[in-house]
Amino acid sequence: MDTLTAITERRSIREFEDKPVSQETIEKILDLATKAPSGKNRQPWRFVVLQGSKKAELAAIMARVAAERKQQSLDTGSSELSINAIRQASAVIAVFNAFSTVEADYNHYRLLTDTQSIGAAIQTMLLAAQTFGLGTLWMCDIFYSEREIRSWLGRSDELVAAIAIGHAAQSPYPRSRKDWQEVTEWEKEN
């Protein structure tokens, strides 16, 4: 699959087949993710692959926190959809920013640079998975359980996102996108 096809055909998958993705394929996807552009070549991304009972534990943590938040009439976003995707996916890749809690002089611009770099690595991961014929879901509902997930994994760095990965059990229609002319200003001298 060429890059343009991967970009135009990629969809957020929320239902997965009960079919494993090989460790070798996940390793290739992670290797490609590390090829993403990185501001000042800091490579701030760190990945934790969760499968089997560890993936089930993640879903349980998120479900418990979502239930607690609901009892308090607090927002849970689309946590239920994310939890179901985690349960069905072959693997979940938790993505961390290695520098966000360890650098004393972590200023706003460095944070933005590292966040952009991590976003590029995630997008590269999604496109690589698409090329391998796999579906993915980029999840941010993990933020509702961020403290509990970091504690469970014994991590002090910032949890940025989680990616569910597996064989898609659905073919979502293309979501509407604003036309590039609607979101772009073009300035040039005559």
In a domain, 145, yes or no: yes
In a domain, 85, yes or no: yes
CATH of the domain at 87: 3.40.109.10
In a domain, 140, yes or no: yes
pLDDT 10s digits, 68-84: 999 999 999 999 999 99
Backbone dihedral angles phi then psi of residue 80, each to the nearest 5 degrees: -60, -40
Residue 56 reports pLDDT greater than 90: yes
What is the extent of the structural domain holding 129?
Answer: 3-170
Total number of domains in the chain: 1
Q: Binning pLDDT at 50, 70 and 90, where does residue 103 land?
A: low
Q: Is the pTM of this model over 0.85?
A: yes
Q: Binning pLDDT at 50, 70 and 90, where does residue 102 land?
A: low
In a domain, 190, yes or no: no
Residue 83, amino acid: I
Residue 113 in contact with residue 37, Cβ under 8 Å?
A: no
pLDDT 10s digits, 21-43: 999 999 999 999 999 999 999 99
pLDDT 10s digits, 104-156: 677 889 889 999 999 999 999 999 999 999 999 999 999 999 999 999 999 99
CA distance 20 to 33: 20
Q: Binning pLDDT at 50, 70 and 90, where does residue 101 land?
A: confident
In a domain, 138, yes or no: yes
In a domain, 177, yes or no: no
In a domain, 185, yes or no: no
In a domain, 68, yes or no: yes
CA distance 55 to 88: 10
